[in-house]
Every structure is written in C-alpha cells, then in structure tokens.
C-alpha cells in the first residue's frame, strides 16, 4: 500500500497503522522497552527489599550508562556479520536476536545470583542485560528505517513507541505486582519468558533490503589494507558527524553540547532513588505499581501531548525554558511527600507532577535534538546527542545512594532540584540565540 503526504482522507491515513510493518514494530518496541526498567527502577526496588544499602543501590545507576554509550559499538552492529547466523536470517535480524538472547540469559543469571552474597557478580549480570538491550535497540532502529519508505516512518515510530511504553509498563507495574504476590525471582523469570515475544517476532518477520553505500564498498574492498579500512571506518563513524556539527555551529556548538548534557541531569539523578524512597515511606509494591507505574504512565502521555501542543503553538525554544524549570521544580514535590510520609494523596501529587514534567520535557527536548541534526548524519548525530543527554545524569545517579545514606532523602531531592539550574540558564541562552538568529534573517 503506497502513501503520499497530503493526499487521501483521514480514514485512509489511519489505515497505515494496520500495515504489517507497523504491527511488527509494535512487538519489537515491546521487546526493546521491557528490559530497561529491569536494570533501573524495578531493580532498585528488588535491592531495597533485600535491604541492600542505599549507597550500593545508587551505584547500580551506572548500569544504565550502557545505554548512553551505545554509539561506540553501533558501527559494529551496522557492518560486522555474525558467523553463520547472519547468513541464515540477515544482518539486522541476527543482531536483534543476539541481543534478545543476551537479555534472556542475563535476566535468568540475575535470578540465580543472590545479591546479598555476591553483589558484584549480580551487577555483572545486570550489565549483560543492559548491553544486550542497547545492542538490540541499535539493530531495531536500523531495521525500522530500512523496512519502509519515508512516508511510513512516522507510523513505524509510533508503533514502536507504543510497544516500548507497554513493555516498560509491564516491567515496572507488572514486575512489582508479581513480586508482591509471589517473589522477585518469579517476577524476573516471567520477564525473561516475555522476551520470547520479541524472539518470535524476529524469526517471523522478513529481513529488510540493504543498500550498499560508498562506505560499505570501501570497508569491504580487500585490495585496501586492514589499517586503512579501520582508519576510514573510524573517521566516517565518529569524526565526520562531529566535524560537520562544529563547522555548522562554530563555537556555539560547545554551548549546545553542554546544554544537552545538563538538561536531564536533575530528573535522571533523582530517578534511581524513587522506588527505594517509596518503599522506605511504607508504600507497598502494589501501591507503587498502581500509582507510579500505571497512573504515572498516563500522566507521562499527558505531558508529552501538552509538550507537542506547545511546540506547535510557540515553537521549540520557548517551551524548552518552561520544560527546564518544570523538571527542576517538580523534584521539590518529593520533599513535600517526605514530610507527609505514607500519604496516598501526596504520592499521587508527586507522581503526577514528576510524570507530566517528564513527558512534557521529553517531547520538547526530542523536538529540539531533532532540529539540530544534519540529514546526512541524522542517525549518528541523534545517537550522539541522546547519549550525551543521559550520560552525565547516569554518572551522578551512581552517587545518589551515598547522599541519601549521609543526609537523607530531603537533602537529596533538594540537591537534585538545584542540579536543574544550569539547564534553566542555558535554555534561556539558547532561546536568546535563536531570537537573534531569527531577527538577522
């Protein structure tokens, strides 16, 4: 079925979501979204239940740094063939399947390890899950882009995001409910079993067609030395996107990169301690699942919807300032909840503010990052931007447990709010730069 922009009725446009390509991406999105919380907030709840120190739990925030540096091995996933497997099912599907197998094995290994006996080995298993998951993400993104025309990419992305959010919901609320009814081992075994949905999808879908570009021809030219091909690969994979970005933006590029690195510093740093905080206040895992995960899921969607409307109405840059302020200020709601204690109304208020803020700022910031990319290097530059966006927050989140143990939750949330000030100041600078550039046109 062929689609063309600006033609046909709304009913015909909606039919695009019934296309096989979109349905495939929904299931692959589920497979990508499921592992994320299992090595992040859901994992911290498990460790809290086992009475692991908050300092040690905080260090597990570094496991998520794997997602932030995946651009380092993206060229490997793009170019290197897996012996035997790639020849059987293709380049994209073989790497997706390898990632899914790694996730399943890592989750099972986490269950078999007792973190109270060997926390380090348990952490290694969590890193395996995160590394395999991020590898799966790289290959799924490539398959999505190659599976359909440009006209269908919006629908494919929508199907992927919906499946991704459902996967996160099950890994968050579903795992907490199961742990409350049974235990954490059963919950993680069940999550590993659910990964078979993604495995089945990969085995059933077709491999997309690949276009061998100039870069691939150069890399596969056996007449050239291995050293020259390696140097060329490194230049094209890492240097060229950076060079183009700095040529286009000049010295202002440094301000942009700093702004990207601090924009989500506040909420990512806070996120690792959220579930331990709720449990320490006396909320049950079922209550946390119902409010934080299920109710929070819809609040995030509401925030994303409002962010999209503001971008349409006011452009990208003014909503950026509001998003930065909102991200920092909503951390103060958790100080309020800390004063209330085990109060369901306070929990709902804090979750509402935090998730609406997260959805709003996420939608606005994704639009901003997209506007920064050059179409020649869209995938690479966007991967670099998103990695830079999460890496500092993941790093600082590792120390969050130390601060909680030393000074308590209220001091921690206050400092998390203060960490949002640089983003507020830089968002104003970015807006002023945009206004000046627009006036000079």
pLDDT tens string 361-399:
877 887 787 678 775 565 566 677 877 887 788 788 778
Q: Is residue 246 part of a domain?
A: no
CATH code of the domain containing 145: 1.20.1250.20
The parent domain of residue 37 ranges over 16-208
Residue pair 332/314 in contact by the 8 Å Cβ criterion: no
At residue 10, the pLDDT reads 42
Q: Is residue 330 part of a domain?
A: yes
Could you read off the pLDDT of 77-105 as tens digits, one per residue? 777 788 888 888 888 899 999 999 999 99
Residues 116 and 262 both lie in one domain: no
State the alpha helices, DSSP H only, in 209-343: 214-219, 226-234, 240-249, 252-263, 265-271, 274-280, 285-288, 296-314, 317-329, 332-340
Higher pLDDT, 220 or 233: 233
d(CA 429, CA 441): 19
At residue 16, the pLDDT reads 58
Could you read off the pLDDT of 283-298 as tens digits, one per residue? 988 888 888 888 888 8
Residue pair 363/311 in contact by the 8 Å Cβ criterion: yes
Residues 53 and 140 both lie in one domain: yes
Helix axes 252-263, 378-397, angle to 10 degrees: 50
- Looking at the structure of the chain, the number of domains it has is 2
Residues 196 and 284 both lie in one domain: no
Q: What is the DSSP string of 119-164?
A: HHHHHHHHHHHHHHHHHHHHHHHHHHHHHS-GGGHHHHHHHHHHHH
Residue pair 169/293 in contact by the 8 Å Cβ criterion: yes
* Nearest to 208, CA basis, from 148, 147, 156, 157: 147
Q: Is residue 217 part of a domain?
A: no
Question: Within 10 Å of residue 291's Cβ, how many Cβ atoms?
Answer: 20
């Amino acid at each position: 079925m062929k689609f063309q922009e600006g033609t046909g009725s709304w009913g015909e446009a909606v039919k695009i979501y019934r296309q096989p390509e979109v349905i495939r991406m929904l299931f692959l999105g589920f497979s990508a979204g499921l592992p994320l919380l299992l090595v992040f907030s859901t994992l911290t709840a498990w460790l809290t239940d086992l009475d692991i120190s908050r300092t040690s739990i905080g260090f597990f925030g570094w496991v998520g740094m794997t997602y932030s540096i995946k651009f380092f091995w993206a060229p490997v996933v793009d170019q290197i063939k897996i012996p035997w497997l790639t020849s059987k099912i293709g380049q994209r599907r073989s790497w997706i399947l390898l990632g899914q197998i790694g996730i399943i094995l890592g989750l099972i290994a986490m269950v078999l390890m007792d973190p109270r006996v060997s926390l380090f080995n348990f952490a290694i298993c969590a890193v395996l899950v995160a590394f395999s998951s991020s590898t799966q993400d790289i290959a799924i993104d490539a398959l999505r882009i190659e599976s359909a025309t440009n006209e269908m990419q919006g629908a494919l992305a929508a199907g992927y995001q919906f499946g991704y959010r459902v996967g996160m919901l099950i890994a968050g609320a579903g795992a907490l409910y199961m742990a409350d009814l049974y235990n954490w081992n059963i919950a993680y075994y069940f999550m590993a079993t659910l990964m078979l949905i993604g495995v089945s999808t990969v085995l059933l879908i077709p491999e997309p067609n690949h276009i061998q570009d100039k870069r691939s021809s150069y890399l596969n030219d056996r007449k050239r030395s291995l050293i020259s091909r390696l140097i060329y690969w490194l230049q094209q994979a890492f240097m060229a996107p950076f060079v183009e970005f700095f040529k286009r933006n000049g010295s202002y590029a440094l301000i942009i990169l700093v702004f990207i690195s601090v924009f989500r510093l506040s909420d990512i740093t806070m996120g690792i301690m959220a579930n331990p905080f709720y449990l320490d206040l006396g909320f049950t895992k079922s209550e946390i699942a119902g409010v934080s995960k299920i109710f929070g899921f819809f609040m995030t969607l509401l925030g994303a919807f409002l962010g999209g409307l503001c971008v349409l109405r006011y452009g990208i840059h003014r909503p950026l300032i509001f998003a930065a302020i909102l991200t920092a200020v909503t951390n103060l709601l958790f100080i309020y909840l800390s004063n209330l204690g085990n109060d369901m109304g306070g929990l709902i208020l804090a979750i509402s503010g935090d998730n609406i803020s997260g959805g709003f700022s996420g939608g606005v910031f994704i639009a901003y990052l997209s506007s920064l990319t050059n179409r020649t290097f869209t995938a690479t530059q966007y991967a670099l931007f998103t990695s830079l966006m999460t890496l500092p927050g993941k790093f600082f989140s590792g120390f969050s447990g130390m601060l909680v143990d030393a000074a308590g939750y209220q001091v921690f949330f206050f400092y998390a709010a203060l960490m949002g000030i640089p983003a507020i100041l830089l968002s104003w600078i970015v807006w002023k730069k945009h206004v000046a550039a627009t006036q000079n046109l």
